Structure 1
Amino acid sequence: MSNLLNLEKVSKSYGVRPLLTDVSLGVGAGERIGIVGRNGDGKSTLLRIMTGEEPVDAGRVSRERGLLVGFLRQSDDFADTHTVREVVLRGMADHEWAADARLREIVDVLLAGVDLDRSVAGLSGGERRRCGLAALLLGEHDLIILDEPTNHLDVEAVAWLAAHLAARPSALVVVTHDRWFLDAVCQQTWEVHDGVVDAYEGGYAAFVLAKAERQRQAAASEVRRQNLVRKELAWLRRGAPARTSKPKFRIDAANQLIEDVPPPRDRLELQRFATQRLGKDVIDVEDVDFARGERVLLDHATWRLGPGDRVGIVGVNGAGKSSVLGLLAGELAPQHGKVRHGRTVVLQHLSQQVGFEDPEARVLATVESIRRVTKTADGEITATSMLERFGFTGDKLTARLGDLSGGERRRFQLLRLLLTEPNVLLLDEPTNDLDIETLNVLEDFLDGWPGTLVVVSHDRYFLERVTDSVWALLGDGQISMLPRGVDEYLERRSSEQQVARNERAASRDEVEQVPRPRDEVATHASKPDQRGVAQAPKAKPGSAEERTARKALARLDKQLERLAAREAELTEAIAAAATDPERLTELAAELAEVHEEKEAAELEWLEAAEVLE
């Protein structure tokens, strides 16, 4: 495996703070590497150094000659005067990208519902993100570098992106807090912390096990060192002629490391506390109709939330997930029906908007004004200790709220909400701008929290980690329970899309089979087709050419049926194997082959059909 890029003893500082110190690492051809670490520890800086956008203070960065690097930044640099077609397709005509199955899939998935001739200036943040990702993936690169690519993508798009990247031959370096994505795509994990970069084999799950084992070994080494020091001191004091033997320590395997760890939370115990605090009735949605503009989101929908329920909501962007949270919170009113709250409900709603009433207020003072001592599963802790758990230490304790970064604002918003001790929590995309360490803290807090929880999130790992059931908005006006969770949601979406494709294909066939006047047929035959190639001459009735063309159509119809069925099977298999990177790679490669074969068969079918017109 050839090395594409190398960092040799690289150091980088901002002011007096060192982000990287004597870091040496490399990226080989075809490697897929995930980068994790706390916000502000230098992940994005490392990416910019790798691409050459950021100079180093010391050390050397070398790249293979002629290396083609694609870089997705956290913010795009699109010119607002350009259209989506210009910034994404770079002037390619429709028939150029539509004729290539790989390019067509990228455009169909990432730009679904986006008008290609629309100005970039009018796009939402999520649409701009999809445009940037599509523009990058349409190109050919030896090395793809992505900075938070899953931001603003829904669960379905994240699953597609994971399968697509796993099937590409390009090397990949990605910074993301999406732990499911790391497991599905990456073969190695780099952790950036305290100026160094530690490398681990495997995705996020393997990284957690390996890190825990390293920490266990380090703790054992520290215990051994302290024991030796104590014995050395004792020997020096009594002047003994010999030292005692060293203790022996057994290194456990990773599976032994966690075999005695209890489940994250005791559901029965939490439900008992929730029932005591909340009572029997929490939130009842009864026969509700709700629409935004002309779009009907709920149609005579009924849904009940009980004490201790931990619910995740999924759906495509625009399905109405945030609106449902607004209804549950009482911030939005239905056009018909009722949303009832129990008498003991104390509800807090975390929206996607991050703002403060007083930007001049200080972090610690604001927290202490809400509550100085907070009850947790481990007992009571002070406001300062709670702030430290959420990453606010040192001078951050006295920082102005208006000076906090996006991630820090999100953390503070969450903390302030939890300090009010609600018994019903509605969280709308709570993982936005949070690093993995903060997510672990939040998950740990929620493990011991006994209230009713409703979460809307594109972060599949977080959703499955903190909730017990998954419900979906599938566009039918109802809130549907999915017994098998996100996997079932992806399968349903895949089936719906396949049905829609079949209906479009049937509609095209009906149009093509409508007989046209002879003069129109003659005119059409004299013109080149959309690909700029003169059409095949028409066969005479009863001729050998006609018989051959009919046989070809019958054969191709069966072949296309078989390929469509295989395509559906592979799509379902990819959704089911989302946590198995090796299997995912195999399936994605086979799906790409099926797409190519299907494209060739469709072109051959069209040529045969032209002969019979």
Structure 2
Amino acid sequence: MLQITHLTMTHEKDLTDLVSDLSLVVNKGDKIALIGEEGNGKSSLLKWMMNPTFVNSYIQFNGQIRRDFGQYSYIPQQLPQELERLSLNDYFFGPSDVAFDYAALYRYAKELQFDSDRFADAQLLSTLSGGEKLKIQFIKELAKETDILFLDEPSNDLDLATLKWLERFIQQTPKTVIFVSHDETFLRQTATKIIHLERIKKRLVARTTVQSLDYATYAQERKDQFDRQLQQARNERLEHQKKLARHHRIHQSVEYTVRTTHDATAGRLIAKKMKAVLAQEKRYEKEAAAMTEIPTQEDHIRLYFSEIETLPAHKPIIELVDYSLQVGQTILVPSVDFRFLAQEKIGIIGANGAGKSSLLRQIYRMLKKQASYSIGYIPQNYPDLLNPTASPLDFLTHSPDKTEEERVLTHLASLQFSREEARHPISSLSGGQQAKLLLLKMVLETSPVLLLDEPTRNFSPTSQPQVRQLFQDFKGAILAVSHDRTFLKEVCDRVYQLNQNGLTEIRKDDL
């Protein structure tokens, strides 16, 4: 259906390679996942596969592509503005250059619990919730008579029920599906081939990997290969140091003999020996140059909550009794009862629009007013806390003290930020880099209570195990809104579902 040969994609703005020497064959029925950090070119590659003209304005490319498909379906990260202005009726029944299976249209509406009577509504798409916008796109795009689907972060705004439905659809459809995702569980359930876009060595070098493996096998093999290469590189360097130490002792001994020998014949022999010593040094230099490279991974996260002063285990952080969850004049949940203690880790799930983020945001505001300790917070919308014109250094430092600045720069370097990026405006950073800033902020402030809204959403799937481990090791309290099932199972002690009846505890095995 699709064949790519030796593709390199370069961003015109800074002439940075995003894709390096990619060769790929896409067969009918393949389920191919594009993974990698934010800003690495996944969406651009997805669009280029559909039609190079979609990225011509900012991407240069070299390589060949052969497309053996005609019509395709595409669901972008965000609903395009020209569609936002349409009514539901115009969206579903307006002109189309692709044939529809109308039976499928109504079948998908039923499966996704979207009232098909609304197809003819005059309601504008811009007024729909994020989850509803995704659902109507699935209903329409999947009903088109096409052979290939391109999906860009299809799981981002879905509740768990819809997410599981989508997983089953991808598993069972005979169509080819090429998709971008950060959701580990979703990837494990769906992908049969992986394309991994990385930018290593301070994000200066593009590395593109293709493996015909399911995601779980790919992730494990990648980790095993990294560990083997790292161990081999360390062993070679250790052995090299031992050789150099022995050679240094020989060199010193020969030098001493040269200085203290006055016999001409013996001097010639010693000089010959010194020549051999110097030749050996050249061989050691070549050996060092040929040693196994110490492996690097762009997504490696080295952060630790090392200085947290935990609150007493049974100290209540917040208690809500018959709390009315309200946004503006709209009551989302009439009555919420909730008790959150100082060393609990609690997850909250719920349908799209149930009020999860609103509840977390209101709890954050309450605690900011009444708590005597700092509160760590990652909002769903990063600009709520990040000034787009400030730099990462501005955001993380509280004084012009050079010692503090160097400490922060060291932390940023451990998260793969260059010194230049540390001084660039936050608006120029990818979503994943902004998430790392918020994560580092909480570590530096040693907050004993963390409120997290979709904390893993913008991290690549290969870095998420490290993020989960960070929160697993955290000794304080965590209250997290999340649809990430792996995060909920591995980090949270308990999980609650929010609906019209309030918060109800559910079994993690049911996720």
With normalisation by structure 2, the TM-score equals: 0.74
Alignment of 1:83-94 (within 5 A): 83-88=87-92, 90=94
1:281 equivalent among 316, 336, 355? 316
Counterparts of 1:290 and 1:238 in 2: how far apart (Å)? 78
1:172 equivalent among 177, 186, 191? 177
Residue in structure 2 matched with residue 104 of structure 1 by the alignment:
106
Unaligned runs of 5+ in 1: 244-264, 332-338, 376-380, 490-613
Counterparts of 1:171 and 1:19 in 2: how far apart (Å)? 24
2:510 equivalent among 485, 488, 511? 488
Question: Does residue 376 of structure 2 align to residue 348 of structure 1?
Answer: yes
Counterparts of 1:328 and 1:281 in 2: how far apart (Å)? 13
Residue in structure 1 matched with residue 167 of structure 2 by the alignment:
162
Residue in structure 2 matched with residue 22 of structure 1 by the alignment:
21
Alignment of 1:176-575 (within 5 A): 176-194=181-199, 195-223=206-234, 226=237, 237=277, 274-276=310-312, 280-291=315-326, 293=329, 295=331, 297-299=333-335, 301-331=336-366, 346-355=374-383, 358-369=387-398, 382-436=407-461, 439-477=464-502, 479-482=503-506, 484-485=507-508, 487-488=509-510
Deviation at 1:108, TM superposition (A): 3.0
Alignment of 1:586-597 (within 5 A): none
Counterparts of 1:113 and 1:345 in 2: how far apart (Å)? 47
- The alignment's C-alpha RMSD in Å is 3.9
* Aligned CA distance change for structure 1 residues 217 and 104 (closer, same or farther; 3 Å): same
The higher-RCO structure (CA 8 Å, 6+ apart) is: 2
Counterparts of 1:431 and 1:319 in 2: how far apart (Å)? 20
Q: Secondary structure at the match of 1:361?
A: coil
* Aligned CA distance change for structure 1 residues 28 and 207 (closer, same or farther; 3 Å): same
**Counterpart contact for 2:325–2:332, Cα < 8 Å:** yes
Counterparts of 2:430 and 2:150 in 1: how far apart (Å)? 23
Counterparts of 2:393 and 2:317 in 1: how far apart (Å)? 33
Q: Secondary structure at the match of 1:297?
A: strand
**Counterpart contact for 1:71–1:144, Cα < 8 Å:** yes
Deviation at 1:6, TM superposition (A): 0.9
Residue in structure 1 matched with residue 76 of structure 2 by the alignment:
73
Say how many residue pairs are matched: 438
**Counterpart contact for 2:311–2:342, Cα < 8 Å:** yes
Deviation at 1:218, TM superposition (A): 2.2
Identity of aligned residues (%): 23
Residue in structure 2 matched with residue 33 of structure 1 by the alignment:
32
**Counterpart contact for 1:111–1:130, Cα < 8 Å:** no
Q: Kindly provide the CA deviation profile for residues 102-147 of structure 1, in whole angstroms up to 9, marking residues without a partner as x.
A: 4334223446269431222433444333333332212232221211
Deviation at 1:345, TM superposition (A): 5.0
With normalisation by structure 1, the TM-score equals: 0.63
Counterparts of 1:121 and 1:319 in 2: how far apart (Å)? 18
Stretch of structure 1 that moved more, 362-371 or 316-325: 362-371
Stretch of structure 1 that moved more, 216-225 or 312-321: 216-225
Q: Secondary structure at the match of 1:71?
A: strand
* Aligned CA distance change for structure 1 residues 461 and 147 (closer, same or farther; 3 Å): same
Residue in structure 2 matched with residue 134 of structure 1 by the alignment:
139
Residue in structure 2 matched with residue 13 of structure 1 by the alignment:
10
**Counterpart contact for 2:71–2:146, Cα < 8 Å:** yes
Deviation at 1:192, TM superposition (A): 1.2
Counterparts of 2:41 and 2:84 in 1: how far apart (Å)? 30
Counterparts of 2:402 and 2:222 in 1: how far apart (Å)? 33
**Counterpart contact for 1:275–1:307, Cα < 8 Å:** yes
Deviation at 1:60, TM superposition (A): 0.5
Deviation at 1:409, TM superposition (A): 3.5
Counterparts of 1:400 and 1:169 in 2: how far apart (Å)? 45
Deviation at 1:90, TM superposition (A): 4.8
**Counterpart contact for 1:110–1:157, Cα < 8 Å:** yes
Counterparts of 1:295 and 1:450 in 2: how far apart (Å)? 35
* Aligned CA distance change for structure 1 residues 372 and 107 (closer, same or farther; 3 Å): farther
Counterparts of 1:230 and 1:419 in 2: how far apart (Å)? 37
**Counterpart contact for 2:32–2:177, Cα < 8 Å:** yes
Counterparts of 2:157 and 2:46 in 1: how far apart (Å)? 20
Counterparts of 1:390 and 1:119 in 2: how far apart (Å)? 42
Deviation at 1:316, TM superposition (A): 0.6
* Aligned CA distance change for structure 1 residues 174 and 97 (closer, same or farther; 3 Å): closer
